[in-house]
Amino acid sequence: MIPRVSIVGLGKLGASMVAAIASRGGEVIGVDVNAASVEAVAAGRAPVQETDLDATLAANRARIRATLDVGEAVRDSAITFVIVPTPSDARGAFAFDAAARAFEAIGTALRKKETYHVVVLTSTVLPGTTRTALLPILERTSGKRVGPDIGLCYSPEFIALGSVIRDFLNPDFTLIGEVDARAGETLEAYYAQVMANHAPSRRMSLENAELAKISVNSYVTMKITFANMLAALCEAIPGADVDVVTHALGSDKRIGAKYLTGGLGYGGPCFPRDNVALAFLARSLGAPSLGPEATDAVNDSIPARVVARIAPLVPAGGTVGVLGLAYKPASHVIEEAQGTALVDACLAQGLRVVAFDPLVSALPNRGAGLSMAQAPADVVQAADVVVVATPDAAFAALDWPALLAAKPGLHVVDAWRLLRDRIPASAAARYHVLGRGPVPGSDPRAEARLAELWTAPGH
Ligand SMILES: NC(=O)c1ccc[n+]([C@@H]2O[C@H](COP(=O)([O-])OP(=O)(O)OC[C@H]3O[C@@H](n4cnc5c(N)ncnc54)[C@H](O)[C@@H]3O)[C@@H](O)[C@H]2O)c1
């Protein structure tokens, strides 16, 4: 029998966890301070946009309850997960006010509960937060001791927006930070019943788990940035091709091929802020912070580098077209998105921009320099230089030979080598690929610059 759990916070992650757990046969009580979210989940509807969320909630409605009342949820469950926002504060750390309020309400409810209950923080926080900031709230409001009376864990999920339900149920491993073995064992046993893939558990102290969570994202972004650094370097070496280099690099088992594609940088709600937070933590504690700072600085510099590359191609008074504004294909999220940053970098240079994204209909407050197109072909029609900013298959599927034939002055800048098989030889000179050097023999200056390193007198 899977124990009934409660989930406080019915957002992108929390509501998806409710649906995922119920789909595995577990009973779940969802809680939120937002009545509309509670109403939606109680009615088997998605409170937020996420792949399969609506259908999974509807199909498993019999095992799902939702309430505004934390007391009821805690009373009727054995484990409570807290998945509320922890937005970045002015220092770059994660603010935990919402988590503190949730812990107060849970602690107050636990005052009246006789049986052992485990509270699990799932929201992203920095090391020390769970033990030094949230544990005392739980003890004060419940009048009980964390350890003998109440279990406490920090256990984040490793999910990507757009595949939250699938990722939650099929993790590479479950990460469990625990105050003691009893709490950790309870959560590990619960995950073993609910997860679909028998993933191994990594159990450790609260602080180690808090650090491990943020390290995963920081490491992945470092890898992305390394590939992007190689892409920029390849552009200066005749005949170089970042895909050839990263393919070889990724074949090394110590490295692996995932997240090793040179292109535009990372973005979205998690990756950028986790690096900033890790750098803040390291600086504050007197440890080296250069790693995450450098990753971040390189990432932030990419839109300006791309603008420098395309500006010479834009005729006076001309227009740049941007295809892809969200931080990845099939997303509507523009937070820290490179396509959107590219639009802003172009506008800051005084360039006019026409943009399209299948799921982003507007970029507010950009002024008259930006116009939004209704279809990708309209961008091509209106622009002198088109940048493919996200690797969206819909952009590859356009009839590029016809579009290029109809506009003899059009240049295409492809950040992801998405169109490499779609451009006719007759238009090759107007096709610019990020991450590739000039064709050997086509750029004497680039060849001379490289040769000079090894042939100039004195070497
Ligand atoms: N979305 C992701 O991809 C992702 C990935 C990993 C980690 N996280 C972390 O998970 C946490 C939640 O992220 P999200 O994207 O689901 O947030 P979200 O903003 O989509 O949802 C948060 C929900 O919590 C509710 N809430 C706020 N305060 C509350 C309280 N005191 N009691 C009850 N409900 C409350 C809000 O009304 C909202 O419905 C954050 O710490 C985030 O960093 C998110």
Average pLDDT, 10 consecutive residues per value, the chain (459 residues):
97 98 98 98 96 97 98 98 97 97 98 97 98 98 97 97 96 98 98 95 98 97 97 97 98 97 94 95 98 96 95 95 96 95 96 97 94 96 97 95 94 95 92 94 95 86
Question: Quick one: tokens of 272?
Answer: 């950028």
Active site residue 234: no
pLDDT of residue 459: 67
Residue of 7, 8, 12 to test ligand 1 pocket, by largest number of atoms within 8 Å of CB? 12
Which of 270, 265, 325 has its CA nearest to residue 295? Answer: 265
State the amino acid at position 214 in one-letter form: I
Q: Which amino acid, one-letter code, is at 215?
A: S
Atom of ligand 1 minimally distant from the CA of 37: 39
Output the ligand 1 site: residues, CB below 6 A.
Answer: 8-14, 31-34, 37, 48, 83-86, 98, 101-102, 123-124, 156, 159, 161, 269-270
CA–centroid distance, residue 345 to ligand 1 (Å):
30
- 31, 41, 83, 332: which to mutate for ligand 1, most atoms within 8 A of CB? 83
- How much distance in Å is there from the Cα of 9 to the middle of ligand 1? 6
The C-alpha atoms of residue 178 and residue 175 are separated, in whole angstroms, by 10
Query: What pLDDT is stored for residue 222 in this prediction?
Result: 97
Q: Beta-strand (E) ranges in 60-212?
A: 64-67, 79-82, 117-121, 150-154, 174-178, 201-205
DSSP state of 429: G
Taking the CA of residue 268 as reference, the ligand 1 atom at the shortest distance is 3
- 122 CA: nearest ligand 1 atom: 10
Rounded to two decimals, what is the model's pTM? 0.94
| pLDDT tens digits, 329-356 | 999 999 999 999 999 999 999 999 999 9
CA of 103 to the centre of ligand 1 (A): 14
Q: Select from 380, 387, 376, 351 the least CA-distant residue to 366.
A: 351
Among residues 284, 241, 210, 287, the alpha carbon closest in space to that of 414 is found at 241
Asked if 30 and 7 touch (Cβ cutoff 8 Å), the reply is yes
Alpha-carbon Rg for the chain, nearest whole angstrom, is 25
Contact 439, 239 (CB under 8 A): yes
Ligand 1 atom closest to 156 (CA): 7
Helix or strand or coil: residue 436?
Answer: strand
Per the structure block, which two tokens stand in for 295?
């990753």
How far from chain centre, in Å, is Cα 52? 18
Task: Look at the block and give the residue holding tokens 């997960």.
Answer: 81
Instruction: Specify which residues 411 forms β-bridges with.
Output: 385
Looking at the DSSP bridge assignments, the partners of residue 65 are: 29
What is the Å distance from ligand 1's center to 165 Cα?
15
Q: How many angstroms separate the alpha carbon of residue 395 from the centre of ligand 1?
A: 32
The helices-and-strands tally (H runs, E runs) of the chain is 17, 14
* Residues whose CB is less than 8 angstroms from the CB of residue 159 and which lie 6 or more positions away in sequence, other chains included: 13, 16, 167, 168
What are the φ/ψ torsions at residue 288 (nearest 5 degrees)?
Answer: -65, 130
Contact of 73 with 8, CB cutoff 8 Å: yes
Encode 337-370: b = buried (16+ Cβ within 10 Å), e = exposed: bbbbbbbebbbeeebbbbbbbbebeebeebeebb
Q: Ligand 1, from 37, 84, 101, 129: best to mutate by most atoms within 8 Å of Cβ?
A: 84
Pairwise CA distance, residues 331 & 334, whole Å = 8
Q: Are 7 and 14 in contact (CB under 8 A)?
A: yes
Distance, CA of 208 to CA of 213 (rounded, Å): 9
Helix axis angle, 290-310 to 206-234, nearest 10° = 30
Structure tokens at 177: 């930070």
Please report the pLDDT score of residue 53 as a whole number: 98
- Residue closest via CA to ligand 1's atom 15 equals 12
What gap in Å lies between CA 413 and CA 403, rounded to an integer? 14
Query: Residue 209, exposed/middle/buried by CB under 10 A (0-12, 13-18, 19+)?
Result: buried
